[in-house]
Every structure is written in structure tokens, then in C-alpha cells.
Amino acid sequence: MSRYKGLSPTQRGMKLLKENGYAGEVTEVFVKPGGMLFGYKKDTLGLFDAIVFKSHPIDQPDAHVNVTIHECLGAQFSDWSGVGKHKKKAEASPWLIPWLLAGNHFVIYGFRPWKDEDRRDECKTCEAFLDNGKVVWNEDQS
């Protein structure tokens, strides 16, 4: 039985991040302009479904101070097939490079669809990095 049964990509992503020690919230909002029948989802800065944080204590036996690394991660959640679309959208955003320059992380999580029973828990991650001012992607499948 899958640990993500019945969850949306956003719910699956938040569960995965919390299982890995992150804390944070979904920041994506649903907007329904007055007088309209339908609305749309709006990502924070046009990039993120969630912003999460994690602290990593560093064990340094010879040091006389406690060192902790703090990490801020902007996450975009999608189904497996939507990862490429989200990469293009992120690269076109005026906010991605300043976000990364500030020392933050940006990761797109793509989950396998429910109909793919043997691989439901698989997740593709694409993390954005800067290389000489250009965005490059590190992709991983697990």
C-alpha cells in the first residue's frame, strides 16, 4: 500500500518534506475574481507551492561552538509529466535568480500517477542551481 494513496501532488510533496525534517506551509492560493464562475491557483512569486525550512546541526568535535546550517527551500509540486513545464516556467520567472542568489533552494517534485501501481511512490526531483549566472538543473529520480 502506498504511503501517498489519495493525496494530491502538493499533499504528497508536503508529506515527503515533513518526513525529511522540513517545516513550512503551502503558500499557493486559490484566486476567484469577483463575478467569475471559475478561479485559478496562484503560486508564490509565480514559482512556489510551498516554502519550507530545515536546520542542520553540524557536528564539529574540535570546535568550541555549535554550528547550525539553516536551509530555506521553495518547492513546486507536480505530477511526473508536468516537471518540464514547471522548469520552463521557473526559468522565465524574474524571481528565480534572486531567490537562488539569496542562498535559498528551489526544487520541483514530480510524482508518478496513481494508475502506475508498481511505481506510485516514485518522485522525480529537479533542483535549480546557478552556474556563472545561468540556471542549471540537477535531476534525480527516486
pLDDT value, residue 6 = 74
Enumerate residues 6+ apart whose C-beta is below 8 A from 117.
Answer: none
CA 142/CA 126 separation, integer angstroms: 11
CA 51/CA 25 separation, integer angstroms: 6
Phi, psi of 46 (to 5 degrees): 70, 10
pLDDT value, residue 37 = 86
pLDDT value, residue 1 = 44
Enumerate residues 6+ apart whose C-beta is below 8 A from 113.
Answer: 79, 80, 120
CA 110/CA 86 separation, integer angstroms: 10
Alpha helices in 55-124 (DSSP H): 83-92, 96-101
CB 53 within 8 A of CB 70: yes
The residue assigned the cell 504528497 is: 12
- Per-residue model confidence as pLDDT tens digits over 57-87: 777 666 666 667 788 999 999 998 999 999 9
C-alpha cell at 77: 509540486
User: What type of residue sits at position 135?
Assistant: V
Enumerate residues 6+ apart whose C-beta is below 8 A from 135.
Answer: 90, 91, 96, 97, 100, 128, 129
pLDDT value, residue 49 = 96
Residue ranges of the chain with per-residue pLDDT less than 70: 1-5, 60-67, 114-121, 142
Q: How many CB atoms lie within 10 A of CB 12?
A: 23
